[in-house]
Amino acid sequence: MNLKLERAIRLTLSYIVILIMSAIVLYPVVWIIGSSFNPGDSLSGSTMIPKNASLVHYKELFDTTQSNYLLWYWNTLKICLATMFFSVLAISFTAYAFSRYRFVGRKNGLVTFLVLQMIPNFSALIALFILAQLTGLIDTHLSLILIYVGGAVPMNTWLMKGYLDTIPKELDESARMDGAGHFRIFIQIIMPLAKPIIAVVALFNFIGPFTDFIIAKILIRSEEKYTLAVGLYDLVAKQFGNEFTKFAAGSVLIAIPIAILFLSLQKYFISGLTAGGTKG
């Protein structure tokens, strides 16, 4: 009886903790969604469940005569897709080299990547700004893409290398005996088996540029080249800017492509994330 009571108490406490954590996570999400449907510009009168729900803020965002939101959305999508593609490409080749080959400087290279991933991007803002200025990349999307891709390589290389280490090397040797070259082994054998970790890396590198504000704010100057983070900040930060409910509506729409990508890759996501940490 005592054992059953102890199990019941543990189960009850577990559910209580889950409910509390769920409330902490969901409350700001529900509140921002509710605020996006509230008429007016102020958040002071906003409620989680709008009394007079309205789509006026969404209509204003999609009206190109009143807002550049669609342009900012396209800019962000373009940067995110390019970053995701080139990051996956660079990380796949780098991780494969570290996983399958033994060469001079391999261990030092891995240690360097480990150190680099401990340094946040904003600590190098001055250096990034000067480098972009010297190369003429200020106020260009290319500068953001290059920074995001370069910043993604260290951490994600370790993650993908850990996953590739779990793929038996006997597969490489069998393919090599059949006459397959290094590139063919990489494309036709390793990459299909690495789909879970590729999905994880792709998702991480798509979300990163979507949520980045500091680097984009420093390098992008023209309003027509703003990303969503910078553009939405401009709505509430400029002089007389008090369009907080429109900001909420724009924030809600940001989640759509991220949710679509996550749902389309979720069957790979958990297995890729857990397997990537099994070996160093």
Mean pLDDT of 69-86: 94
Q: Which residue's structure tokens are 């900012």?
A: 72
Q: How confident is the model at residue 46 (pLDDT cuts 50, 70, 90)?
A: low
Rounded CA gap, 232 and 243, in Å? 9
Q: How confident is the model over 164-179, as pLDDT tens digits?
A: 888 888 888 888 888 8
Rounded CA gap, 268 and 231, in Å? 33
Rounded CA gap, 4 and 32, in Å? 42
Percentage of the chain lying above the pLDDT 90 cut:
23
Q: Which residues contact 214 (CB under 8 A, 6 or more apart)?
A: 121, 122, 125
Rounded CA gap, 39 and 37, in Å? 6
274 pLDDT exceeds 70? no
Q: Does the pTM of the predicted model rise above 0.75? A: yes
Q: How confident is the model over 184-221, as pLDDT tens digits?
A: 888 888 888 888 889 889 998 999 888 888 899 999 98
Rounded CA gap, 116 and 113, in Å? 5
* Nearest Cα to Cα of residue 260 among 85, 89, 77: 77
